[in-house]
Copies of this chain bind each other. A is one copy, B any other.
């Protein structure tokens, strides 16, 4: 595993230090391994032998690449000729530093877009700023907990909605089930505390399951989480918009555009970077907590006023018999209050140093608040004898009963709405990080390793926004269709993560390891039970999508890994210990035989590792003897390598005419004409180059093509763009190099 198997003792005080910063922008450029360095040295030795006394690095260049000697005091105009040069600063010999971002270049449209982007997302942040973008606990708590805490807005209701199927008499079971859920919450929370401690550089289910159970389990957990993050955004936005449209029914027709607007807002906020997102989003979470606590206080005061006499629930007839299945389903549904508990563990490296300690404290606070809110709401609902209704949420009923008049009801509803929207934001913190870890292990496209110019993982953020928007639109922004898909993925991840912790403790032992393993095993068992119950009882309602998608995602990730592994192998330098060219398929540097007949593989001949081994032949396709052709011919000839021209003609007559023109020019280069009787252009040229390649695969063919560059996009329609199509046709041929000589048309 790319995450590395860190051996440690787990002695209970501080985890062992890890030298690398996990989220460095250099993650895109992993260092070479010892083997690779050895191979590199070996190749360098071959170059040295090959070059002999000649040292290309000492040759005089026609200009100074460090740009040092061209600097002069700032010109009066901003757009003077030296503008480009001043965009680089020299700090040491052979090294330049770019001083600006890319905004200044390109067309006017592109500059305007860049300026707009800067206004929306803020100026670019240098890599050196990466540490400042960490979160304090007080900022991290609201940012990371909104998903978890907003779940109490629908968790208790989901539990009671199942119980009430067995009649209002069964509602009394809510308190023991809630107690069980509280135990589960504390168990999972404790487990994650240990996980954060054991994996201080990122402790998500993917990393833990990969590390302890193997990559396939890790990928399974990751697939569950990926789906869950996408659904978190869709569901939370849908529920939030639903809350708004319940209050203001006139907005109902605009559900989908409103939701897309919210997703766009979340996208922009998160592209600005972590700290800015924290600042924007801190207040509402605290407001929600305060509002619910206020509700508790008022409810308690009212209960005390009437001597703590519980209100009996209205009689509701039983639809189903009360059995174990109903209890389990109620438990599983209530467990949806726990979605989002993963957030802190995934986000450890976004905390300020010491990361793991801050993260643990934050997690403890979050779970504590969750338990208080969940238990308090369940008790208060039970005490007030409330029953789930289709037209109003339980939280709304409770708030309305507690505050029949005044602004407090509206405040609680508004806070609920906002915290639901913020829950969506949590996914924007976690999803790109998960993809970063997966990309580091080559299970996701490498572009998810790239930090945008605001130090956020822009690609992951954009991917999440797009996926969530698609799901949101596909389901028409209708919450109830999305809910059944929701919890399966996250409990899959929980189960694997905790099972992984059991394996971790068994392997690494340490103090109290049996007690810890037992605690984790209990958690894994409970989570697994919830997972199985949710998958089975919600299967027809939509959980099948998740059950189907998880293995497909795992397969996709494995395929991506295979592809990257194949690429790495294909691009690896030959290791120093396989010098035999007959076995390794590498060319013999001393001189090689004509391999026309015996060679078979497509790419194995042309390793071209040293300059002397490259034998050139330059081919210039010429359509018409104009300036473009002359420039290409002059460029090709000036390289000083063997060169000839080729002309494609639809008819003999035209071929003869062209040859006469060629002789008028002076016949300075050898000319081949190809008659294409079927008037196709690209295919015969490509086949001709392929034929040349076939007869002498060891010759590197350089095809020099003039490229007409037009100013306006639609002008491209007026050109046949032979250069582009030829390049595409020749792309499959190994050892064929295509060189574009640009010719710029005036406006």
Contact = CB atoms under 8 A, between A and B. Distances in A.
Interface in A637-691: 637-644, 646, 649-651, 653-655, 657-659, 661, 664-680, 682-684, 686-688, 690-691
Contacts of A649: 26, 29
12 contacts: A37-B661, A65-B644, A70-B596, A94-B659, A98-B674, A105-B690, A127-B678, A127-B679, A446-B719, A571-B628, A573-B625, A739-B739
A128 to B, nearest CB: 7
Nearest to A89: B675
Contacts of A643: 56, 59
A102 B617 contact: no
B614 A638 contact: yes
Interface string A61-73: 1110111001000
A602 interface: yes
Given A570-B746, A694-B81, A739-B738, A101 B678 contact: yes
Interface string A733-747: 111111111111111
A173 interface: no
Given A571-B628, A639-B639, 17 more contacts: A29-B624, A43-B630, A43-B665, A56-B637, A56-B670, A94-B670, A96-B674, A102-B680, A127-B651, A446-B720, A570-B744, A570-B746, A573-B626, A611-B638, A616-B639, A640-B640, A709-B731
A85 interface: yes
Contact of A672 (B65, B653, B673, B732): B65
A5 interface: no
B616 A666 contact: no
Interface string A210-253: 00000000000000000000000000000000000000000000
A439 to B, nearest CB: 10
A25 interface: yes
A631 B609 contact: yes
Contacts of A59: 642-643
A654 B32 CA distance: 11
Contacts of A6: none
A40 B664 contact: yes
Nearest to A24: B651
A715 B566 CA distance: 12
- Give the size category of A's interface with B: 35 or more
A131 to B, nearest CB: 12
Contact of A445 (B37, B128, B683, B718): B718
Contacts of A597: 81
Given A624-B29, A737-B740, A739-B702, A666 B128 contact: no
A107 to B, nearest CB: 9
A44 B664 contact: yes
Contacts of A747: 566
Nearest to A737: B741
A594 to B, nearest CB: 11
Contacts of A564: 718
Given A65-B692, A567-B745, A665 B41 contact: yes
Interface stretch (A45-53, A181-189, A427-435): A45-53
A668 B63 contact: no
